[in-house]
């Protein structure tokens, strides 16, 4: 496992953004883990989170011209990632949307730099794909091209069909989904850690029951 993935999981567990136990998903499944990016709620953790997004995307080799963060959780995430990229010497334009378009001031649904070129969408996870769908529409309406999605955690879990939410995005919009970590990374991270054997067993069982092929 790449070191930044391990460091991200250290941070996520330390911030209680990644919790273990029994959690009911929107699909009604009992998941042995739960991820909430809203727990990265201070300057230090957001700074590091942005760095992990930047490392994951740069490691993927995905080319992009600008960043887009869907409201609401995507706004601090895309901001943190843009700052991390700037610290690496690459300053890229950033935009995000409002939930409700303004009819005064600058107006419209978009805030920030007008989307141009290839736009990378930055979000926490992909569940039903609603946020991605809305982002793609806004980006295309502005005359730009959505080129990929960056997320923190890929659950690698089937939706209503045989594909995961991330795979559905790739199939529907013909663009890759880059994650900082996925469920296989989490299993590898927990392997051999004293006291984590029951949690690892539960995750592997869940993966075998609801997971997709890597």
Task: Spot the catalytic one: 24, 102, 137, 193.
Answer: 102
Q: What is the DSSP letter of 211?
A: B
Check if 104 is active-site. Answer: yes
User: 68, 180, 59, 85: which is closest to 132 by C-alpha?
Assistant: 68
Give pairs for 55-59: CB < 8 Å, separation 24+: 55/4, 55/180, 56/4, 56/150, 56/178, 56/179, 56/180, 57/81, 57/120, 57/150, 57/178, 58/88, 59/2, 59/4
Q: Which residue reads 């920030």 in tokens?
A: 112
**CA torsion sign, 184 to 63 to 38 to 97?**
negative
Cα–Cα distance between 141 and 71 in angstroms, integer? 17
Check if 174 is active-site. Answer: no
Q: Residues 74, 148, 173, 69: what is their CA dihedral angle, to the nearest 10 degrees?
A: 20
Task: Spot the catalytic one: 5, 26, 99, 104.
Answer: 104
Cα–Cα distance between 18 and 161 in angstroms, integer? 26
Cα–Cα distance between 179 and 164 in angstroms, integer? 13
Active-site positions read 102, 104
């Amino acid at each position: 496992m790449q070191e930044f993935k391990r460091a991200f999981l250290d941070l996520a567990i330390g911030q209680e953004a990644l919790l273990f136990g029994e959690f009911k998903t929107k699909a009604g499944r009992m998941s042995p883990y739960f991820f909430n990016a809203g727990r990265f709620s201070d300057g230090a953790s957001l700074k590091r989170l942005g760095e992990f997004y930047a490392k994951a995307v740069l490691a993927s080799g995905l080319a992009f011209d600008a960043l887009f963060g869907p409201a609401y959780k995507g706004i601090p995430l895309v901001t943190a990632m843009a700052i991390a990229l700037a610290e690496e010497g690459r300053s890229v334009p950033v935009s995000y949307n409002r939930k409700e378009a303004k009819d005064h001031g600058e107006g419209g649904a978009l805030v920030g730099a007008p989307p141009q070129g290839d736009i990378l969408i930055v979000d926490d996870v992909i569940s039903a794909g609603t946020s991605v769908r809305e982002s793609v529409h806004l980006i295309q309406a502005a005359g730009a091209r959505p080129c990929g999605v960056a997320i923190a955690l890929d659950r690698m879990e089937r939706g209503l069909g045989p594909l995961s939410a991330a795979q559905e995005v790739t199939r529907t919009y013909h663009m890759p989904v880059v994650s900082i970590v996925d469920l296989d990374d989490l299993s590898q991270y927990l392997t051999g850690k004293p006291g984590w054997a029951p949690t690892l067993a539960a995750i592997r069982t869940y993966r075998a029951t609801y997971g997709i092929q890597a």
